[in-house]
Structure 1
Amino acid sequence: MNPAPAIPAQGQTETRPKLLYLVTEDWYFCSHRIAHARAARDAGFEVVVAAHVNDQKVNDSPVYGETAATQIRAEGFRLVPLALDRSGRNPLHELAAIAELVRLYARERPDLTQHVALKPALYGSIAARLTGVPAYVNSIAGLGYVFVSRDFLAYLLRPFIRFALRLLLNHKRGHVIVQNPDDREALEIAGIARPGHITLIPGSGVDTETFTPSPPPPTNKDSPPLAVLASRMLWDKGVGELVAAARILKEKGVALRVALIGDPDPANPASIPRQTLEEWQREGAVEWWGQRSGMAEILKTAHIAVLPSYREGLPLSLLEAASCARPLIASNVPGCREIVRHGKNGLLVPARDSEALATALSQLAQDPQLREKMGGEARRLVEERFARPLITAQTVALYKTLAGQAPA
């Protein structure tokens, strides 16, 4: 592909390298990437964020009720609204989205771009190659719906997505960040990333000063332990299996509250209908709390964190719970097993297995000493491997290398 002629960017500095983040949603940037962007800014990068902008509030923003766009601009980052639709499938609309990115990259002339998630990786790589961006990073945070879903649409899309990833990501100017060893191996075997062009950085990092250990509330006959699942309400997060496990425990008389924290995501094909969640709430086996702010405070009220997902990159919800010294229960799948060490800081169960999940929940619900021991181990692991300063340092070092600077 021949690079398109670049148009000088307005206000571009000559001395500061420009880093452009391409993200599907502004709220996702705030929850998973804003700490990296701060570190890049402090290391001398000019930061631009290109994303779809909506009015969604940020759960843990410094100002309660603040929108993601407001928080991004408050950090001093320039925000470029995009029409990119992460669930769009209309070919004409998708071509228009790619054309919009080509114009953006030609205008901004970034030294480095980071494309976060699958569609930005594909479309951003096209734009980067057409406009001659010197280096671009594709962050694959778990292989997602197309690779883990069993529905017919995902089955049809899978070979085309694999081919597109090989074509677009395997390039001399491209680099790939993965969050767990399984994803790295899968991408290498598929020929999607060149040798030496793939880096494992375990997640986004967790703020250990916000998510701090605290004693869980006392339990008794009237106040049973609380297990929480914090995620978008998607089938492939294992929400259906958790509801089935909660029913099993209720039938057996095991005292345990199970709370689902999060909203449906209509843009995701695996989204659970709101009506289904409301029916589960009325049934009484689980509680659906919806989207909540202040997860650090919520985790103080919990005794167990659970995520029976089908596949993950490196789930932030488990890291935050571990940082609060809560024991973990998760599926034995890529991403989750990097955080949960079976028998040490939590329990691993087979994916899509409600009976095994119910057994694990019952074990921790009835053993407060084991919960305390595993919670302490969970906090230790976060401090040693997943604390935010460790992760941001690795990320910024990669940025500097790709932008032609010597890492500090």
Structure 2
Amino acid sequence: MTSAALPSPRLRIACLITNSEIGGAQSHVAALLQAAPAGTEMILLAGGDGPLFGIAARAGAHVIRLARLDNALSPWRAVGALRELLQALKQARPDLIHVHSAKAGALGRIAGFLLGIPVVYTVHGFAFKPEAPLRQRTAARVAEWLLAPLAARVICVAEAERRLARSLPVAAERIAVIANGIPDTDQRANPQAPLRRIVMVARFAAPKRPDAVIRAFARANLHDCELVLAGDGPRRQAMEQLAQQLAPGRVRFPGNVADIAALLASAQVFVLASDHEGLPLSVLEAMRAGLAVIASNLPGIREQIEHDKHGLLVDHDDEPAFSAALERLCADAPLRGALGSAARLRWEQHYGLEQMIKATWSVYRDALAGTPRAARVPT
């Protein structure tokens, strides 16, 4: 007589991120939660009270709000957040923790080490890049150096981030490069249409530079065109005041926009200015829409966009050059169309959601099995 086979236990994956607000890292986490395969229980742990909790719940994930987890730099606040996280993880009992963002990445790696749970750490952008302020750069490098050995696997979203990761005490075979991916949509822009709208989608906080975009837009000789700065954050009020001073009545601040695809489809040009970046999702969204892109000339963005082929790369602190790039694109509808078509094709070839999900789950399997093998999606 043979006994019936017992059902396999469900795999439990915990995704930890500092804040539940809208942003690139949060969109990345949302995609992972929504694309989890059958037989997997996904758990979201995050601070704040943002829309990511609702997205996770609708995807069938178990949601845990961490009241003490935030971006504050207070060591005492961090200790309290770690205690709260440890208690939550003991109750959730995940098989693996996938951490995102700086503070959650630090606390999650410590918690995983203390509880004996493997941790996968996705680096959406190291904070010790040369472009970052010295104090922030130094603190970030020390923290990453101390915590690097605690991650079973490190996922970098760009080759530029992998090069930084190699300067840390982490074995090369534990580092994977998986480019960000986003799902397709049927909403497309018509960049060759008469220029009426330029859009930037970003949080109003460092390292984003909406001030540089406002200044370049105000300087450029553009008529019958509005600049839309979508997003929210601590610098929004200051940017509204700057826009009123430099380009009164010509800059809109709609806040967090639920349907980004529709907003981008209504535009003819997309811009993004940042002091440093990993592989920004907002640029991918613009590429998916078939928009011509003007973006800061940064290593991660250079992996997305080749200058004069998929968009224009600029030094956002060079106001005359940034304005000239805006004027060039705005005056040349065929160029906007050609760049937009090339950007869309590049997105189709390299930045779809399926590639990212498949590669990420391969890293999960390796971390759980303890097999040192790097996964990579071409960028």
Instruction: Decide which of 9, 13, 17 is 1:23's aligned counterpart.
Output: 17
- C-alpha separation in 1, matches of 2:68 and 2:304: 32
Deviation sequence 1:213-260 (CA, Å, 0-9, x none): 3434842xxxx442211111235322121112112214xx66643221
2:185 aligns with one of 200, 206, 209:
209
Alignment-derived partner of residue 243 in structure 1: 214
Question: 1:147 and 1:102 mapped to 2: Cα distance?
Answer: 34
Q: Distance in 2 between matches of 1:14 and 1:98?
A: 31
Between 86-95 and 300-309, report the one with greater CA deviation: 86-95
Rounded to whole Å, the distance in 2 between the matches of 1:273 and 1:37 is 29
1:350-389 superposed matches below 5 A: 350-389=315-354
SS at match of 2:172: coil
- 2:170 aligned residue: 193
Report what 1:230 is aligned to: 201
Query: Compared with structure 1, are the counterparts of its residues 87 and 185 closer, same or farther at alpha carbon in structure 2 (3 Å cutoff)?
Result: same
Query: Conserved in 1, the CA contact under 8 Å of 2:132 and 2:276?
Result: no
Residues 48 and 77 of structure 1 are in contact (CA less than 8 Å); yes or no, is this contact kept in structure 2? yes
Matched, 1:334 2:299: yes
- Residue 289 of structure 1 aligns with an amino acid whose one-letter code is F
Structure 1 residue 115, shift from structure 2 partner: 0.6
Shift of 1:382: 0.4
Distance 1:193 1:362 in 2: 45
2:112 to 128, 153, 156: 128
Residue 86 of structure 1 corresponds to which residue in structure 2? 70
d(CA) in 2 for partners of 1:103, 1:147 = 37
Among 26, 35, 39, the alignment partner of 2:35 is: 39
2:252 corresponding residue in structure 1:
288
2:17–2:99 CA contact under 8 A, matched in 1? yes
Map of 1:71 onto structure 2 = 55
After alignment, is 296-305 or 237-246 more displaced?
237-246
**What TM-score comes out, normalization by structure 2 length?**
0.88
Q: Deviations over 1:280-336 (max 9, x none)?
A: 136426413232221111112111111121211111111111111111111110221
State how 1:300-339 maps to structure 2 within 5 Å.
300-339=265-304
Q: How far did residue 378 of structure 1 move? A: 0.6
Matches within 5 A, 1:132-211: 132-133=116-117, 135-144=118-127, 148-150=131-133, 155-171=134-150, 174-189=152-167, 191-203=168-180, 205-210=181-186
Q: Is contact 1:329-1:340 (8 Å) kept?
A: no
1:4 matched residue in structure 2: none
Q: SS in structure 2 opposite 1:86? A: coil
Q: 1:297 aligns with which of 230, 254, 262?
A: 262
Distance in 2, matches of 1:146 and 1:311, equals: 7
Question: Aligned-pair distance for 1:91?
Answer: 2.1
Q: Is the 8 A contact 2:14 2:98 kept in 1?
A: yes
RMSD of aligned residue pairs (Cα, Å):
2.5
Seq. identity, % = 26
**1:116–1:139 contact (8 Å) kept in structure 2:** yes
AA in 2 matched with 1:288? R
8 Å CA contact 2:13, 2:94 repeated in 1: yes
Distance 2:206 2:62 in 1: 35
* Counterpart Cα distance in 1 of 2:296 and 2:246: 25
Match of 1:262 in 2: 231
Displacement of 1:351: 4.1
Q: Give unmatched runs, 5+ long, in structure 1.
A: 1-12, 57-66, 267-271
Gap runs ≥5 in structure 2: 1-6, 374-379
Match of residue 3 from structure 1: none
Cα deviations by residue, 1:172-211 (Å, 9 ceiling, x for unpaired): x52111111111101212x2432211111111x122135x
Q: What is the CA–CA distance in structure 2 between the aligned matches of 1:104 and 1:235, rounded to whole Å?
A: 30
Alpha-carbon distance between aligned partners in 1 of 2:294 and 2:239, rounded to the nearest angstrom: 24
Which of 348, 367, 378 aligns to 1:402? It is 367
**Superposition TM-score, scaled by structure 1 size:** 0.82
